[in-house]
Amino acid sequence: MSSSIHDQFVLFRDSLDDYHDRRERLIKASRDITNISKKTIFLLHRLALEAQDAPARASAAKAGLNKLREVQKMYAGMKDELVGDNFWRYQRQVSPGLQEYIEALSFAHYLEHGNLISYDQVQATLCGADGIAYFPLTISDYLLGISDLTGELMRFAISGFGSPGGRSRALETCYLVRNCKSDFERFTPHVWDLHKKQAVTAQSLSKIEDAVYTAVVRTSEFDLPPEMLDDLVNETVFTYNREGKNFERGNDDSEDFSHSYYH
Amino acid sequence: MDSQTLDNLNQMLDHESDIRERIRDQVNEFDKKTRTVVGILSKIHSTHSESMPSLIETAQPVIHSFSETITTLASIIPPNQFWRWKDMWCNSLRTAVFAAVLSEYLTKGILLSLESTSAILGMQEEWHDRVHLAVEDYLHGLITMVNELSRLAVNAVILGDFEEPLKISAFVKEVFLGFSMLNLKNDTLRRRFDSLKYDMKKIEEVVYDVSLRKLVVKQPPVPAKPTS
């Protein structure tokens, strides 16, 4: 082989190897990020279910945000691979993990503040101490990540439905998800695959609406404030549980449930 | 989201689609040019080797006009966003590479290097983050050239030129050896590389036929020295 052709192909080999290796590394990192983000979402659901009031939810959010620091550290480590025009070369490898991270981050943000995290706030979590972004956040990753949040909000609304204040929280999420759906409609021509996510959002929305409908119909049958209804239901559940326990473990004198509107 | 945020996001997205539209216009222009040049170069299969230089000469103005389109593209692409948009024009660019490397081989018998191809296409170093010739696109252009040369080996014989297949065989073997050095993944480049062996086989069969029948009267020419 003539030496100049040989030399050229050696350079091509190095350049292609570098590309493939970097691509693999980023795919792995993105998978790890997806993994941590999914775990964070489960953690947030668990903690949010137990949290009865706003401060408790805020501390649940803190726990989630703490876990997401791991992800932010990983992005800090990846920034050298994504410098300059390299970000766009590997955007497709980075994007799945990034969307999952935005989903987890926006869920934690919602539990703390009760609203949607903004584009700038997300970008701010992906900046070094010097305030320089690790890489530019794309609008499409932001919108697609937030779009996934609506599914989490649906889960949050439905599974917390029976707990105190669950009905009014379901109504709040209902408004938020409904707004998301209508706000995102105008972006669908611009963002690849957003229309599919919109269809999923529509499903989640109708599940929340059905739940809220049930709440409204049942509440209207009793002329009592919703908290009182919660307590009524809880008392029944509690009494049932205590009797069950007594049956199993003999008498135990736990008297921690002390308030009822009927005493 | 409040309406201010929505408007901001929408504005950014509108800006992106504006860029996309402008690139699309240029890609259309680019496409017209590459189709013209492919039309001219398809005549190599019915051209005797002595009139080959004048045929290639007619393709030169079109090949040189690629640089206008590429310069305009570079002015549209925002800094650092080469990889974001390159898929829009990479087919046209690969065809342009094909036209340049084929013309070089047919006139000088050598392989045009990536750097020289970039220069002919008018790529400039200061736009490297906006428009450049990626290794992958150059290699795609080379494979198209080999595909075309395997046809030319057959068609040269039809025209009574029994030497051309030997020259092509030597040249294509060198290029093939180069490709064999690469660690290709399972992508389009790999699939197209796999097709090269059929081209090699076809060329070898022609060489076999003409050699066995002693159709090459003259001494086989020294294989062209491929240099950049």
Return d(Cα A161, Cα A150) in angstroms, integer: 16
Q: Please, which residues bridge with residue A133 across strands?
A: A127
Tokens of A256: 């921690």
**Alpha carbons B33 and A60: distance in angstroms, whole number:** 61
ipTM for this model: 0.87
Model pLDDT, residue A260: 41
Domain count for chain B, please give it.
Answer: 1
HEC secondary structure over B133-193: CCHHHHHHHHHHHHHHHHHHHHHHHHCCCCCHHHHHHHHHHHHHHHHHCCCCCCCHHHHHH
Nearest-CA neighbor of A177 among A115, A100, A102? A115
Nearest chain B Cα distance for residue A94, angstroms? 13
A116 Cα to chain B: minimum distance (Å): 7
Tens of pLDDT, residue by residue over A119-154, are: 999 999 999 888 899 999 999 999 999 999 999 999
Chains A and B: how many Cβ contacts under 8 Å? 87
**Whole-number pLDDT of residue A216:** 83
Name which of B10, B81, B183 is nearest A13 (Cβ-Cβ).
B183
B128: in domain = yes
Give me Rg for the CA atoms of chain B: 21
Cβ distance B114 to A8 less than 8 Å, yes or no, reads yes
Please compute the mean of the pLDDT values over residues A24-44 and round it to a whole number: 96
Burial of B108-118, coded b for 16+ CB within 10 Å and e otherwise, reads: ebbbbbbeebb
Mean of pLDDT values over A68-79? 94
In a domain, B185, yes or no: yes
B222 contact residues in A (CB cutoff 8 A): none
Task: Specify the CATH number for A1-127; select among 3.40.190.10, 3.40.50.300, 3.40.50.620, 1.20.58.190.
Answer: 1.20.58.190
CB B82 within 8 A of CB B130: yes
What is the tens place of the pLDDT at every residue in A160-169? 887 777 888 8
Q: Which of A6, A139, A183 has the CB atom closest to B1's CB atom?
A: A183
Quick check: B100 and B120 in contact, CB under 8 A?
A: yes
pLDDT tens, position by position, B22-73: 999 999 999 999 999 999 999 999 999 899 999 999 999 999 999 999 999 9
- Domain membership flag for residue B224: no
- Going from N- to C-terminal start, the domains of chain A cover 1-127
Please say if the pLDDT value at position A2 is more than 50: yes
Confidence of residue A259 (pLDDT cuts 50, 70, 90): very low
Could you tell me if residue B220 is inside a domain?
A: no
Residues 7-26, chain A: which have Cβ within 8 Å of B?
Answer: 8-10, 12-13, 15-17, 20
Q: Assess if residue B221 is contained within a domain.
A: no
Which residues on chain B are in Cβ contact (under 8 Å) with A91? Answer: 83-84
Full domain range(s) for residue B71: 3-212
Q: What average pLDDT does chain B have?
A: 92
- CATH number of the domain bearing residue B94: 1.20.58.2140
Amino acid in position B42: S
Distance from CA of A140 to the nearest CA of B (A): 9
Q: Residue range A215-227: average pLDDT?
A: 76
Query: CB burial class (10 A; 0-12, 13-18, 19+) of residue A203?
Result: exposed
The whole-number pLDDT of residue A38 equals 97
